[in-house]
């Protein structure tokens, strides 16, 4: 956690998926990452924006509570997520459990 009360979340985005889904684990360059499949193509930041909104929705947060920190043109991204009660457990459940 950082001083500004955000948690950095590693994400692996799968653009152009037939079904939007948040859940699963990918061992990427930033460590264990949460997998987010989105319908949007990897064009003009559309997949990144769809992933940001999907992550916020899966965590029950406003989209403004999730921001891109790194990886604008990569499938491996880092998002900053505003800390709320239960956030670390919710992320762990999405990444390592069967939720999604």
Give the bridge partners for 27, in sequence order. Answer: 32
Q: Residue 9 in contact with residue 35, Cβ under 8 Å?
A: no
What fold does the segment set 6-82 form as a domain? Conserved Hypothetical Protein Mth637; Chain: A; (3.30.1200)
Closest Cα partner for 4 from 78, 80, 58, 55?
A: 80
Q: Where are the domains of the chain?
A: 6-82
**Chain centre distance of CA 74:** 13
Contact 40, 49 (CB under 8 A): yes
Q: pLDDT per residue over 8-25, tens digit each?
A: 999 999 999 999 999 999
Whether residue 1 has pLDDT greater than 80: no
Name the band, by pLDDT with cuts 50, 70 and 90, for residue 96: confident
The overall average pLDDT reported for the chain is 92
**How far is Cα 99 from Cα 94, in angstroms, rounded to an integer?**
5
Average pLDDT over residues 64-70: 97
Of the candidates 55, 80, 62, the residue with the CA atom closest to the CA atom of residue 70 = 80
């Amino acid at each position: 956690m950082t001083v500004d009360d955000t948690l950095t979340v590693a994400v692996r985005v799968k653009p152009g998926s037939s079904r939007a889904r948040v859940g699963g684990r990918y061992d990427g360059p930033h460590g264990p990452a949460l997998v987010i499949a989105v319908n949007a193509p990897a064009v003009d930041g559309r997949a990144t924006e769809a992933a940001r909104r999907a992550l916020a929705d899966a965590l029950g947060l406003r989209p403004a509570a999730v921001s891109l920190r790194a990886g604008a043109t990569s499938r491996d991204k880092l998002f900053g997520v505003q800390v709320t009660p239960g956030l670390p457990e919710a992320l762990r459940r999405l990444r390592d459990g069967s939720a999604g």
